[in-house]
Amino acid sequence: MARTWWVVLMLLLCGCFDSQWGETKRAQARGAAAANPSQINRVALADEEGKAITVPTHSYRVRAYVSQRYRGQTVDWNHTLRSTIDDGNQVLVPGVGVRLQVVSADPWEPSNEDDLESVLTQLEKEHPADDCDWVVAMVSALPITTSSFHKQGLARVLGKHIVLRGVGVLGERDQIDRAFDQLDESSRARLAKQRMAHRAETVLLHEIGHTLGAIHETSAESLMFHSYDHRMSGYTGRSLSIMTAGVRDRNATSPEEHEEARREMLSRIAADPDGGWVAADRTMLQTLLESRGHVASAPAQRTPATPPPATDPQPSTPAIPPPPKELTPAEQELFTRAWTLGREGKPEEAWTVAKPLFKYETSFAVQDLRCQLASATGVSFNVARKECEPLMKLTMSPDAKK
């Protein structure tokens, strides 16, 4: 009899344990669902009756400039950059008829990468956007977690220049692994990837909104809210109406057309005086539009936008960097040969040539080559990330050899 009760007790305890474990897993699944970012709406501007307004789509040239630290922190940075732009186009095309095309992606080193205002000012001075529609600089991610949009990206209202930080949040993947340890690895990896993609897309769209005249709004679900929120789901109708007029301003070829676009933006603000705008931003935009300086500074040489071609032009290819001085002459030849093979579309062969150089763990140029080749060979993300880890560490070290 005693043995029977012991068995019953053990079964009850096991059942209780299984029940608690199952509830923990279900609770974590609910928490992961709540942490999953909202889908960003791909909708068009609607009229007063709620019917979608079809806007013509035009192609706009984007020149990108990428800092050394961003390249070091971002696995396959060229693909990441273009994917973020492509994701943004899924919202911009139906919303305001804007299709962004990256026509070049070149190295560029800001003087003070930690200060976005300084980076933006330098970018405007050195790359005035004479031969393109937008200039975008990609710089390193912050070493701290922040929800402030303007610590993750910066642009001037009705400007042509944007600075974006890498979107990796320090320790976020570790936090996800700890918070949802009962979920499988693929579920946690998917959540981390979706949150990163959502943050990258929303920061880009937020700053693009500013350059087309959109200002901050009070709803946390709006892309123009002042802080990042994973619930952000799209532009509001009021922002789309301002941005549509901002597109007309960009396409204008005469002072009269600029004036017409300016008046349209003013009328949109006047028609919705309270509707969710941040009051100080609304006043600022009115003052900017009412000043004659806006019309005078508009790019009169801008030619009408043309429909996008069937395929996007490919980004320009940066020059092969010089070999690091710490390499021997024979190793310098290997370095140049590996870069050349990589440019020729032979990443596997380039990897074999460059592999003896990877022992130089403090050489940024060598580890940059290693990371780019690993990304280009088509290995899994986890394998590529492991090969890129020495480069990521170097981006945090001011004493690393370049």
Q: Identify the pLDDT of residue 306.
A: 42
In-domain check, residue 43: yes
Do 241 and 369 reside in the same domain of the chain? Answer: no
Q: How far is CA 117 from CA 150, 169, 206, 273, in A?
A: 9, 21, 16, 30
What distance in Å separates the CA atoms of residue 163 and residue 155, rounded to the nearest whole number?
A: 7
Structural domain for 354, as ranges: 329-395
Do 97 and 237 reside in the same domain of the chain? Answer: yes
What pLDDT band is residue 104 in, cutting at 50, 70 and 90? very high
> What's the whole-number mean pLDDT along residues 259-274?
84
pTM of the model: 0.71
Do 242 and 109 reside in the same domain of the chain? Answer: yes
> What's the whole-number mean pLDDT along residues 86-95?
94
Do 87 and 226 reside in the same domain of the chain? Answer: yes
For residue 366, pLDDT beyond 80: yes
Q: Domain count of the chain?
A: 2
Do 280 and 383 reside in the same domain of the chain? Answer: no
For residue 236, pLDDT beyond 80: yes
Residue count of the chain, please give it. Answer: 402
Most confidently modeled of 70-79, 85-94, 143-152? 85-94
In-domain check, residue 358: yes
Q: Are 249 and 158 in contact, with CB atoms under 8 Å apart? A: yes
- Sequence-separated (6 or more) residues with CB below 8 Å from residue 282: 215, 269, 273
What pLDDT band is residue 322 in, cutting at 50, 70 and 90? confident
- Sequence-separated (6 or more) residues with CB below 8 Å from residue 345: none
Q: Identify the pLDDT of residue 44.
A: 66
Mean pLDDT of the chain: 78
Do 72 and 195 reside in the same domain of the chain? Answer: yes
Domain boundary among 292, 318, 344: 318
Q: How far is CA 80 from CA 157, 177, 292, in A?
A: 26, 23, 40
Do 55 and 97 reside in the same domain of the chain? Answer: yes
Do 58 and 168 reside in the same domain of the chain? Answer: yes
Most confidently modeled of 2-11, 293-302, 366-375? 366-375
In-domain check, residue 2: no
Q: Are 368 and 391 in contact, with CB atoms under 8 Å apart? A: yes
Do 238 and 381 reside in the same domain of the chain? Answer: no
Domain boundary among 299, 318, 337: 318
Domain boundary among 283, 298, 318: 318
Do 307 and 366 reside in the same domain of the chain? Answer: no
Do 305 and 374 reside in the same domain of the chain? Answer: no
In-domain check, residue 401: no
What pLDDT band is residue 126 in, cutting at 50, 70 and 90? very high
What pLDDT band is residue 38 in, cutting at 50, 70 and 90? confident
Q: Identify the pLDDT of residue 169.
A: 56
For residue 244, pLDDT beyond 50: yes
For residue 46, pLDDT beyond 50: yes
CATH of the domain at 310: 3.40.390.10
In-domain check, residue 402: no
Most confidently modeled of 16-25, 131-140, 334-343? 131-140
In-domain check, residue 282: yes
What pLDDT band is residue 228 in, cutting at 50, 70 and 90? confident
In-domain check, residue 8: no
Q: Identify the pLDDT of residue 269.
A: 84
- 3 state DSSP class of 91: helix
Q: Identify the pLDDT of residue 161.
A: 96
What pLDDT band is residue 32 in, cutting at 50, 70 and 90? low
Q: Which residue has the higher pLDDT, 251 or 25?
A: 251
